[in-house]
Amino acid sequence: MPHLQDSAHTETHFESSDLVRDVVIGMADGLTVPFALAAGLSGIVASTHLVVVAGLAEIAAGSIAMGLGGYLASRGDSEHYASERKREEMEVVERTRDEEEEIYEIFEEYGVTRTESDSVLQALKRNPKAWVDFMMRFELGLEEPEANRARQSAITIAASYVVGGMVPLLPYILLNESSRALPASVVITLLALVVFGAVKGRLTGAGAWRSGLQTVLIGGLAAGAAYALARLFNAH
């Protein structure tokens, strides 16, 4: 008698790619852009008040712009999917033979012969909706967007931007001098970039250390360039 496993096999694939993408977009820009702005202003002003005001204004404008961009992008995806689905629904009725041939071609890419795939084709023809679903996914490579995806994307990106943007500004809010706030901002922002990059890498499978290092390098270069340019222009 074959040995039975005590626990059933479970899939562990990560399925919230859209949510992760939105958080990454918002958080990455939220951490780097206000960080670069604050570092740049620290090179020309001694008081932290101006840095905080400018930083908050940038966070407000940036979160709205990024959220709106995410909304429009998601709306575009939904409209594209709806348009392609309408066209596919028409083709399975008006160009049935062509669509049948495409079914065969799709299966042939996986090494399935026409004879073997014919039973699947006949089953799909009895269910036009499933046929269209199949063509949308395997011919066009399109997945139906979630309901309210555009609104959720906008909120997630904007909120992530605000959270990320407040990290480099925190020392400027708590301290009175830019010369003291800048080092503290650099430390906590680089730490936040490391943690954020590592978590992103772990979720997406890119590797925690590699992703963390890449995120720190990008954020550090942006802030360093802004600070150097501000010091250069202020010297003249």
pLDDT of residue 9: 45
pLDDT of residue 234: 60
Domain count, the chain: 1
With respect to residue 95, please indicate whether it lies within any of the assigned structural domains.
no
Helix intervals (H) in 175-204: 178-204
The reported pTM is: 0.73
With respect to residue 209, please indicate whether it lies within any of the assigned structural domains.
yes
With respect to residue 49, please indicate whether it lies within any of the assigned structural domains.
yes
With respect to residue 105, please indicate whether it lies within any of the assigned structural domains.
no
User: In order along the chain (236 residues), what is the average pLDDT of each group of 10 residues?
Assistant: 47 59 83 82 80 92 92 88 87 83 84 82 85 84 81 92 92 86 86 78 68 74 68 62
pLDDT of residue 231: 64
Q: Which range of residues forms the domain containing residue 219?
A: 17-83+144-235
With respect to residue 98, please indicate whether it lies within any of the assigned structural domains.
no
pLDDT of residue 13: 45
With respect to residue 1, please indicate whether it lies within any of the assigned structural domains.
no
With respect to residue 215, please indicate whether it lies within any of the assigned structural domains.
yes
Cα–Cα distances in angstroms (integers) from residue 156 to residues 81, 131, 196, 200, 228, in the given order: 22, 34, 16, 15, 33
pLDDT of residue 56: 93
